[in-house]
Amino acid sequence: MAWYIIITALIALIIFVLFKTKTKSQGGGLIKLPPGSYGWPILGETLEFIRARNKGTSEKFVKDRMDKYKTQVFKTSLMGESMAVLCGPAGNKFLFSNENKLVTSWWPASVREILGTCLLTTAGVQGMQMRKMVSYFLSPDAFSKLYIQNIDVVSRQHINTHWQGQGKEELKVFPTIKLYAFELACRSFMSIEEPSQIKRLEALFSVFLAGLLSIPLNLPGTKFYNAKKATAAIKKELGLIVRQRREALEQKTASPSQDLLSHLLVTPDENGEFMSESVIINNILLLLFAGHDTSTCAITMLMKTLAEHPDVYEKVLREQNEIASTKEAGEFLQWEDIQKMKYSWNVVCETLRLWPPAIGAFREALVDINYGGYDIPKGWKFHWNALLTHKDPNLFPDEKKFDPSRFDGAGPVPYTFVPFGGGPRMCPGKEFARLEVLTFLHNVIRRFRWDLLIPGEKILCDPVIIPEKGLPIRIHPQNT
């Protein structure tokens, strides 16, 4: 009996100490944490979060807890971290406006370990320098000089090969578009055009993506283990490409401005220092991933939406035909043509509102923070969720209705439509994605109509938006 009493007392003491640790700030004073639950020991609420994300209902994970605790901020435990989830446009504004002041970028261990040092995982001055170097090559000036004709060429070739070629009448949109987007990223960022090399890298990226946001158990058979192996193979191949390009630049058989890879190799930062080979490889890997998976999701859901809304399809077709009528046969699109696609871009934005490719992101508290009357200790993590504002009926009336007119004029209220994030860490590839999606739309809609073979197909998120069966469609050439 004595031992039972001692053990019980020790357990009570441990619980008390843990509670006091959770409720003390860095300065030692009692603090008022947000309401919420830490879930299971070690795992927290991670499994529930991942399960909701995989079902494509990540906003429900957040909304259920908002309703339960009657607040715009709640605490939880995800990926082994104490976390405050900020809800609504006020939460988005707070996190986006306080980057590198009160908060900084943070990603789960699986992302940091797989990607390594790159602009996504690096904060502070070094992160800003990386972002500047990459952003220059993703600017409108670079688009008008380097990208737009290349994107148009790849788009037309892809449609000729994978849509019209071989007498195809049925195809799966997601895997087909994934080939287009990945080839485009390889050409644009590294000038790689060899089909076998592109196909080999694309297969490795599929394994890489599956384990990027997974529980970091490095055991054979786990998604994380497989992703690490795939990443090592990708980096090995990218390393060979980087060394070959460096040699070509030295021999002047490659241009310093021909693509992003050359740019990163020949451009020093503000201190006159060059990126190391490993950091260049990591950033190229990141951009190949970000430059094709998110746009694949956007185009896939756009194709789904246009099939479901014939009236919207006709308006987009009319706008694209008007642009085509001003050009000579075979003439490529220009930057000015993209700016004329106003209704088409509204349609894309409404698609992104309902189906944002990236559901949200994370931050870390740099100092003790008071938000909404609650204290967030230094070192705690934050999560924001795009779908939470995108599907809020108070922000977007009749929120389930597909309505491109929401984006007429000035568009939605700031911090409510956030598919590309916001603040200093807004996605640097936003304009590249816009160019990629609109160029493909211009070419595909003037050549085909299509029907969904599985109306109401289930939409998953693992970790990006994907139709369960790949969105199979039946295509019909125009004017037949």
Write the pLDDT tens digit of every residue in 271-301. Answer: 888 888 999 999 899 888 877 888 999 999 9
Spans of all domains in the chain: 32-117+125-477
* Six token digits for residue 267: 């451009």
Q: What is the pLDDT of residues 22-39, one digit of tens each?
A: 444 444 456 799 999 999
85 has pLDDT over 90: yes
Confidence bin at 167 (pLDDT 50/70/90): low
Q: What is the pLDDT of residue 168?
A: 66
Of 14 and 331, which is predicted with more confidence?
A: 331
Maximum separation of any 2 CA atoms in the chain, in Å: 94
Nearest to 106, CA basis, from 415, 323, 461, 383: 383
Q: What does R_g of the chain's alpha carbons equal in angstroms?
A: 24
* DSSP assigned state of 338: H
Contact 390, 64 (CB under 8 A): no
Q: What is the pLDDT of residues 213-252, one digit of tens each?
A: 787 888 999 999 999 999 999 999 999 999 999 999 999 9
Q: What is the pLDDT of residue 166?
A: 52
Q: What is the pLDDT of residue 17?
A: 40
Q: What is the pLDDT of residue 143?
A: 65
With vertex at residue 264, the alpha carbon angle to CA 260 and CA 267, rounded to the nearest 5 degrees, is: 125
Domain 32-117+125-477 has CATH 1.10.630.10: yes
Query: Alpha carbon of 406 to those of 91, 298, 338, 341, 413: distances in Å?
Result: 22, 18, 20, 16, 10
Q: What are phi and psi of 68, to 5 degrees?
A: -65, -45
Q: How many C-beta atoms lie closer than 10 Å to residue 465's C-beta? A: 24
470 has pLDDT over 60: yes
Could you tell me which residues come within 8 angstroms of residue 102 by beta carbon, excluding any fewer than 6 positions away? 365, 366, 367, 369
pTM for this entry = 0.88
5 has pLDDT over 80: no
Mapped onto helix, strand or coil, the DSSP state of residue 39 is coil
Mean residue pLDDT across the chain: 87
Question: Which residues are paired to 472 by β-bridges?
Answer: 172
149 has pLDDT over 90: no
How far apart, in whole angstroms, are the C-alpha atoms of residue 243 and residue 146?
23
21 has pLDDT over 50: no
What's the average model confidence in pLDDT over 71-96?
Answer: 93
pLDDT exceeding 70 applies to what percent of the chain?
Answer: 91
pLDDT exceeding 90 applies to what percent of the chain?
Answer: 55
What's the average model confidence in pLDDT over 404-424?
Answer: 92
Of 207 and 426, which is predicted with more confidence?
A: 207
Q: What is the pLDDT of residue 2?
A: 47
Q: What is the pLDDT of residue 323?
A: 97
Q: 87 among the known binding-site residues?
A: no
Mapped onto helix, strand or coil, the DSSP state of residue 294 is helix
Lowest mean pLDDT among 2-16, 45-59, 87-101: 2-16
Contact 91, 417 (CB under 8 A): no
Lowest mean pLDDT among 67-76, 157-166, 440-449, 463-472: 157-166
